[in-house]
């Protein structure tokens, strides 16, 4: 049961964090290109 609960606990935060990190990274690149 622990092996089934672990993914359900870990996947949602990763699924939410990855787009946020990707958005922040692309925003940082856009800001950097505007400054440069």
Q: In whole angstroms, what is the distance from residue 14 CA to residue 34 CA?
A: 30
**Coil, strand or helix: which one is 5?**
helix
The angle formed by the CA atoms of residues 19, 36 and 25, to the nearest 5 degrees, is 10
pTM of the model: 0.46
33 falls in which pLDDT band (50, 70, 90)?
confident
- Which one has a higher pLDDT value, 6 or 23? 23
Task: List helix spans (H) across 1-36.
Answer: 2-35
CA atoms 12, 17, 18, 20: torsion sign: positive
């Amino acid at each position: 049961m622990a092996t089934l609960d672990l993914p359900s606990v870990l996947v949602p935060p990763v699924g939410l964090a990855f787009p946020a990190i990707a958005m922040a990274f692309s925003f940082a690149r856009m800001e950097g290109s505007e400054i440069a």
